[in-house]
Amino acid sequence: MDSGSVFASLVQAPEDPILGVTVAYNKDPSPNKLNLGVGAYRTEEGKPLVLDVVRRAEQLLVNDQSRVKEYLPIVGLADFNKLSAKLIFGADSPAIQANRVATVQCLSGTGSLRVGAEFLARHYHQLTIYIPQPTWGNHPKVFTLAGLSVKTYRYYDPATRGLNFQGLLEDLGAATSGAIVLLHACAHNPTGVDPTLEQWEQIRQLMRSKGLLPFFDSAYQGFASGSLDADAQPVRMFVADGGECLAAQSYAKNMGLYGERVGALSIVCKTADVASKVESQLKLVIRPMYSNPPIHGASIVATILKDSKMYDEWTVELKAMADRIISMRKQLFDALSARGTPGDWSHIIKQIGMFTFTGLNGEQVAFMTKEYHIYMTSDGRISMAGLSSKTVPHLADAIHSAVTRMG
C-alpha cells in the first residue's frame, strides 16, 4: 500500500532510452541475445575490458603507502588537469604555454558538459546553444537543465547517410550572433559521421566570423582513428586561431574508465588573467553541486599520462580497441554484401567511432529485437564495439531479414 505516501501521486518515469535497452536485454532469456545498445567497449569474447596499463597504474597507486584519501581541491587533481589540457590541445599548445586555459576535473564527460553549461548560463551573454540534429540524447537535457536554451543545426543527411554540410553551414550562418555551438570533436554520436578537416576549417571560419562560441564534446579522443593527435585536430584548429572555446573531455571510452567518472572541462581564454577569473567562477559552480571530484580515477589517468612508457603502452592498447572496431565495420559490410542485402551499406565502413547509424527504422529495429534478440536504440544506432567475429553473421542475418521483409 503506497496510498499513504507523500509521493503516491508520482507517475512511473520511462527508462532512459539508451540505458533502457540494457534493461530489456537483461530480461531476455535467449542464449543468442546481443546487446548493441550501450556505448561500452567489449572484447572479441564479448567481455568488458580493463586496460593492462590501467591495472598497472592501479597497482602502483595501491602499493604507494604515502597516498591518503583526503579531499581533492574543488577543481580536482592539479596534475590531472594539466595533463588533460595537454592531451587535447597538444603538448606545444600556445594557449597552454600562455596560461590561457582554465581546466577543472569533472565527473566524466557528462559532468564536464554540465559544469561548462552552468558556467555559461551564469556568465555568458548568449544563452542559446545550438546542438547537432541528431545528437547524443543527453545533450538537450543537460543544457536545458543548466539554464541554456537549446536549438538545433542540421548535421546528418539520411539520404546519403553522411554529413549535411550545406545544411550545417546554412543553419550556423543563420544562428544568433554570439550563440554557443556544441561540436562533437570526433566520432559523432549517434551518426559516426565527422566533417573532413577541410570542412572543419570552413566551420571554423564561419563560426569565428559570427562570433559563435565553440563548445567541444570530446568523448572519443583516440577511439575514432586510433590516434590521439588526429582525433583532437578539429579542437586544435579552433585553439590555433587564438579565439576562445570550451572543451569537455571524457576518459570513459579511451581509457575504459567508464564507472570511475573521470573527465575535465577546459575553457580556453584570450589572456591568463581572464583564465584565472574563469577558474575562480568555475569553483563557485562546482562547490554547491558536488563540492569536489573523486580521487581514484583521476590518479590513474595522471599516473599514465605523466610516465612516457605507460603513455606509450596506453596508445598501443587504445589503437587495438579502435582497430577492432574498424575491423568489425569491415566484417559486417562484407557479411551484408555476401548476403546480397538490398541497399548501399558502404556507410558502415565510412562512418567512424563506436557507432554505426544503420539507417534501419524503428519498425525494423523492433523486428530484429523480437525475432533475433538483437538490442539497439530505436533510431537504428548500433555499437560496433559490442560486436565480434562470432556475432556478425547473426546480426547480418537479422538486418537482411528486416530489410527484405519490411524494407
Ligand X SMILES: Cc1ncc(COP(=O)(O)O)c(C=O)c1O
Contact between 146 and ligand X by CB under 6 A: the answer reads no
Name the residue among 136, 107, 73 with its Cα closest to residue 258.
107
CA separation for the pair 233, 237 (Å, rounded):
6
Among 37, 90, 109, 195, binds ligand X (CB under 6 A): 109
Contact between 252 and ligand X by CB under 6 A: the answer reads yes
What 8-state DSSP symbol labels residue 307? S
Identify whether 253 is a catalytic site residue.
yes
Identify whether 241 is a catalytic site residue.
no
Query: Among residues 171, 194, 231, 253, which one is catalytic?
Result: 253
CA separation for the pair 8, 112 (Å, rounded):
35
For 157, counting Cβ atoms within 10 Å of its Cβ (0-12 exposed, 13-18 middle, 19+ buried), the class is middle
Name the residue among 70, 71, 85, 144 with its Cα closest to residue 279.
85
Q: How far is the CB of 39 from ligand X (least distance, A)?
A: 4
Among 34, 219, 246, 255, binds ligand X (CB under 6 A): 219
Name the residue among 230, 201, 237, 266 with its Cα closest to residue 353.
230
Identify whether 319 is a catalytic site residue.
no
Query: Among residues 136, 231, 314, 397, which one is catalytic?
Result: 136
- Closer to ligand X by CB, 131 or 368: give it: 131
Query: Among residues 194, 217, 231, 397, which one is catalytic?
Result: 217
Q: Is the separation of the CB atoms in 377 and 17 below 8 Å?
A: yes
Contact between 369 and ligand X by CB under 6 A: the answer reads no
Contact between 38 and ligand X by CB under 6 A: the answer reads no
What 8-state DSSP symbol labels residue 15? P
Cell of 393: 553473421
For ligand X, how many residues bind (rule: CB under 6 A)? 13
Contact between 263 and ligand X by CB under 6 A: the answer reads yes
Name the residue among 224, 301, 237 with its Cα closest to residue 268.
237
Q: How far is the CB of 106 from ligand X (least distance, A)?
A: 9
Q: With CB under 6 A as the contact rule, which of the stretches 45-53, 250-258, 292-300, 314-322 interacts with ligand X?
A: 250-258
Binding site for ligand X (CB under 6 A): 39, 108-110, 136, 184, 189, 217, 219, 250, 252, 258, 263
Task: Report, as residue numbers or ranges, the catalytic residues.
Answer: 136, 217, 253
